[in-house]
Structure 1
Amino acid sequence: MTTEVGKTALITGATSGIGKELATLFAKDGYNLILVARQEDKLQEVAEQFRQQYGTSNITVVESDLSKSESPQQVYDEVKRQGLTVNVLVNNAGIGEHGKFATETDLQKELGIIQLNIASVVQLTKLFTKEMVERNEGKILMLGSIASVLPNPLMAVYGATKSFIYSFSEALRNELKDTNVTVTVLMPGATDTDFFNKAGAMNTKAQEQARSTNPADVAKTGYEALMAGKDKVVHGLMNKVQVAGGYVLPDQVVTSNVRKLMEDKDSPQKQEDEKTSALALGIGIASVVVAGIVIASMYRNASPYDRLRYRYKAKKALGSIKNVAASVGDSVNGAYHNAKADVEQALA
């Protein structure tokens, strides 16, 4: 156990799912806790659990509905009123809404999602990061998603909010590069929490897949990345495959594949869709291999400046295919190693 006596972590959405599991890890490592969620009784229940199991004595609970515009300032004011210093900010709270944006989903709920997933994150980050910079010390964990880089049909607003989190975090991390304040984005896929129930997406293929992903494992991945000061981490090998594919496949193919996960799991097109997805992934892998070889061939007759650019692009292409190859089998690994040999020979 890494004892962090005297340091305080503030976690939003701390009473269930990934948020509770993250709070558990902070409790195990000796952090003081500020737990934020909507229900006072559940907050007190979690706080008592931590006191009993981990001996965490300094726990502050703040009942707050962060889907309301005034809530972030109220949370900050309560923290200041109690004279607490936040060393780690975990922006975990978030919700989604399932259905077609134009005809099925509720606008007011979606505006609440934007407030919770974006506006509250920005406000809390603004308030606490300013103090972190003044102290030249602090850590921020953002709960992103693989939806941060993969458009999310049938959860269009939710996916867009996670894209915002990714872009905002990358920009903020760059602005803070000369300080000792770090920003980390945790990017899980479908996880076995109450998210799909609250979003009205219980009969989707994604929800079915979520049963195999334990929120405690996701939290551990994010916690370790946060403590190591990493900029982002994707949890799970197959999620890494999806993200890598998202960078090389045509946008329409990526979006179509994600939609299949958000559709009814009893769809008669399920097997055909799975074949289509596998084919699309194979095409994406092949495209990266070809890209690496093409870049290498151009390298030979390039100027010194262009050679530097081509070396960078070739290594990036090989990096993408390596990440995919690590997860999808021997045939893909063979394609990767063959392409790698061709590219490295050309660049030698």
Structure 2
Amino acid sequence: MASERKCAVITGASTGIGRELARVCAGEGHALILCADEPKLEETAAELRRTGAEVETVEADLATEEGVDKLVRFLEGRRIDYFMANAGVGLGDAFLDQDLDQIRRVIDLNVTGTTMLLHRVGRMLRQQGRGRILVTGSIAGFIPGSFHAIYNASKAYLDSLSYAMREELKDTPVSVTCLMPGLTESEFFERAHLQDTPIGKDDGKDDPAMVARKGYEAMIKGQSGVVTGFMNKVQATFAGLLPDTVLAKMHRRMAEPEDH
């Protein structure tokens, strides 16, 4: 890679916010290392290369230790300026009605895989003496997620981990920023089987390009976190004031399938 270019590593880069983060970084002239677990990743890479971006890809399942190892081995010995831990998946329906293997998939990707990556890549950045980390959490982490319970719990974990890491690294040149979007237009809702829910049908979802831009800018400024979208900021404020029982009931109205 050209030495004058900064290097941005983005997971979950094939669709949604991750793809938009890749577009933002390409527009800023950064060299890119993109990771996802599907061939669609190459479509994103090809699009960005046509704009003159320098792009490398790693197809790896970050819900597995083997996938994490594959990406980490690819990164070893490289200068990493920005690491964006964005890969994640949701799962709709009532907790007891969900398939346990699918539940484990959410935990393995959102929690375990992301934790392993943040630990191993975070050490790389600390060792090289510089770097910025962006973790895609969610305002869902503020709310008990009735009918989306595992996802919300996983995002609560990531939100908390991000702020804890940031505090621990405050005396180093490495910063951690938590991106906390709300409902964002992407393939997320289809993949999480949320199409027949009020949130799945909501036409007011945020533009992923806006979310990515806000997250990138917050990371560059070294901010602790950013909630994107005015209504999401309002929701986040109320989440800190209302009892969890009320929040759980409110979330049920948004996420309960219509035929439940």
TM-score (norm 2): 0.95
Check the 8 A contact 1:69/1:115 in 2, yes or no.
no
Quickly say closer, same or farther: Cα 1:210–1:221, change in 2 above 3 A: farther
Superposition pairs for residues 50-65 of structure 1, below 5 Å?
50-53=48-51, 55-57=52-54, 59-65=55-61
Quickly say closer, same or farther: Cα 1:186–1:109, change in 2 above 3 A: same
Residue identity in the other structure for 1:99: D
Gaps of 5+ in 1: 268-348
Equivalent of 1:74 in 44, 55, 70: 70
Check the 8 A contact 1:190/1:210 in 2, yes or no.
no
Superposition pairs for residues 139-288 of structure 1, below 5 Å?
139-209=132-202, 211-264=204-257
- Cα-to-partner distance string for 1:71-108 (whole Å, 9 max, x where unaligned): 1112111222xx42222111111001111111x10111
Moved over 6 A (4+): none
The structure that has the greater radius of gyration is: 1
Question: 2:104 corresponds to which residue?
Answer: 111
Identity of aligned pairs, percent?
A: 38
Gaps of 5+ in 2: none
Question: 1:32 corresponds to which residue?
Answer: 31
Is 1:96 aligned with 2:90? yes
Per-residue deviation at 1:244? 0.6
CA distance in 2: counterparts of 1:17 and 1:252, whole angstroms: 31
Is 1:120 aligned with 2:113? yes
Residue identity in the other structure for 1:56: A
CA distance in 1: counterparts of 2:49 and 2:122, whole angstroms: 28
CA distance in 1: counterparts of 2:91 and 2:134, whole angstroms: 23
Quickly say closer, same or farther: Cα 1:260–1:5, change in 2 above 3 A: farther
Residue identity in the other structure for 1:24: R
Per-residue deviation at 1:204? 1.1
Q: Which has the higher helix share?
A: 1
Per-residue deviation at 1:265? 5.8
- Cα-to-partner distance string for 1:147-190 (whole Å, 9 max, x where unaligned): 11111111111111000001111110000000111111111111
Is 1:86 aligned with 2:85? no
RMSD (CA atoms): 1.6
- Cα-to-partner distance string for 1:207-245 (whole Å, 9 max, x where unaligned): 222554211111111111111111111111111111111
Residue identity in the other structure for 1:191: T
TM-score (norm 1): 0.71
CA distance in 2: counterparts of 1:34 and 1:211, whole angstroms: 32
- Match of 2:65, SS? coil
Check the 8 A contact 1:68/1:112 in 2, yes or no.
no
Question: 1:285 corresponds to which residue?
Answer: none
CA distance in 1: counterparts of 2:29 and 2:101, whole angstroms: 40
Superposition pairs for residues 127-138 of structure 1, below 5 Å?
127-138=120-131
